[in-house]
Amino acid sequence: MIEGQASGKKLPKLRYGMVGGGQGAFIGEVHRKAIAMDGLAELASGCFSQSPKNTLATGDLLGLPKERLYKSFEEMLAAEAGRKDAPHFIVITTPNVFHFPVARLALEKGFPVVCEKPLATSSKDAQELARLAGEKDRLFCVAYAYSAYPMVKHIRDMIAAGEIGTVRFVHGEYSQEWLATPLEKTGQKQALWRTDPKLAGISNCVGDIGSHLENMVAQMTGLRIQALCARLDQFGEGRTLDDNATVMVNYDNGGRGVFWSSQIALGHDNDFRVRIYGTKGAVEWAQEDPDHARVAFLGRPSATISRGRDPMSPRAAGLSRIPSGHPEGYFECFGNLYRTFIAALAKKMAGEKLTKDDLDFPSVEDGVRGVHYIEQCIESSQCGGVWVEF
């Protein structure tokens, strides 16, 4: 049962439908396990693959009745919208090019949406989704899930409270080695679609992982990019999309930054880290050690903040699940994203007013900005690494 935070009123467990995430996929199973973590919603229907056989096999594995499994997302959304036991929201975990058509139809049918990033493959399409979500008054979450780590929320609240002063410089990196070899030529599914512009869109590396840097810094600092200068590389033989990128950014407060994202960085697994330097202090956080942050302040020894042991901001503490020394990781941050979104949806369904904390998940507007970031990086790089206005 879901407890309404304002009234204490309990609501039945919500239902969701999923598009994408069939057998052989990666991120769909992550979403399903994250949703199941708090028991706030259950899977009711799905179109898990363009292959009907895959959808049927996935649905059977998940215990869904055959009549709730569909050959296409169009068939699914049309049929499910007319059911008395229709899903309360739709989760989209497809390759990038399908995000827009699935999300658009879901919104048109009246469903709230959780969509993998990037929101779309063009700003025009992303803005259309934002317009539709507003017109239909539907909640829309973009799955920049790393933003839901408790320590990320604490860092955000530290910076908002002025503890490190005015942000002067940001250094962000997201490095992986998994595409250091031509993995796509072996038929590996994740590599195949991410390096294919027909499925990934105009960018691989920046779209897949570099966009997390833009979003994370925006979430932590509240700053917005004013201009950027990017160089995107294709080191893999025969690749048409980027697998390495270096981006310089200017922020609206006069601060500066450098982002490096790479999928050909030998020795790196999922090394996503951010360093933020202010006039009074600095903070550093790494996704592979998400329970800790390193802080430094003028005239004081450097220190490490530990989730679960040290005092945290109220919002961060509310997302912390287990005692210190018991690592909370990838599934938990996805779980936090869904716990927030589903609780907000339940309150909205009950007619209760939503608070800032209720809506503390990446919005459709965050998704629009992320797509624009990808496009501006491409434009800058194609023009020879020139500065472009954001």
Tens-digit pLDDT string for the chain (390 aa)? 233 333 345 656 999 999 999 998 999 999 999 999 999 999 999 999 999 999 999 999 999 999 999 999 999 999 999 999 999 999 999 999 999 999 999 999 999 999 999 999 999 999 999 999 999 999 999 999 999 999 999 999 999 999 999 999 999 999 999 999 999 999 999 999 999 999 999 999 999 999 999 999 999 999 999 999 999 999 999 999 999 999 999 999 999 999 999 999 999 999 999 999 999 999 999 999 999 999 999 999 999 999 999 999 999 999 999 999 999 999 999 999 999 999 999 999 999 999 999 999 999 999 999 999 999 999 999 999 999 999
Angle ∠(144,149,155) on CA atoms, nearest 5? 105
- Give the residue among 141, 138, 34 at the shortest CA–CA distance from 360: 141
Residue type at 41? A
Tokens 């919500």 found at? 14
- Pairwise CA distance, residues 187 & 343, whole Å: 40
Q: Angle at CA 77, nearest 5°, toward 35 and 70? A: 85
Element (H, E) at 190: helix 189-194
Instruction: Report pLDDT for 285.
Output: 98
Q: What is the pLDDT of residue 4?
A: 37
Helix (H, G, I), strand (E, B) or coil at 122: coil
pTM: 0.94
User: Which H or E run includes 345?
Assistant: helix 330-349
Identify the CA nearest to 37 among candidates 160, 112, 148, 120: 148
Cβ neighbours of residue 228 under 8 Å, at least 6 residues apart?
A: 247, 248, 249, 250, 373, 376, 377, 380, 387, 388, 390
Spell out where 254-302 has E strands.
256-262, 271-278, 281-286, 292-297
Residue with tokens 């008395």: 84
Angstrom distance (rounded) from CA 286 to CA 86: 40
The Cα 390–Cα 381 span in angstroms is: 14
> Is the Cβ–Cβ distance between 298 and 281 less than 8 Å?
yes
pLDDT at residue 8, rounded to an integer: 45
pLDDT of residue 299: 92
On whether the CB atoms of residues 18 and 90 are closer than 8 A, the answer is yes
Which pLDDT does position 12 carry in this prediction? 62
According to CATH, the topology of domain 2-146+336-359 is: Rossmann fold (3.40.50)
Number of residues that this document lists for the chain: 390
Q: In 3D, which of 343, 371, 315, 1 has the Cα closest to residue 139? A: 343
CATH code given to domain 150-322+369-389: 3.30.360.10
Ranges of each domain in the chain: 2-146+336-359, 150-322+369-389
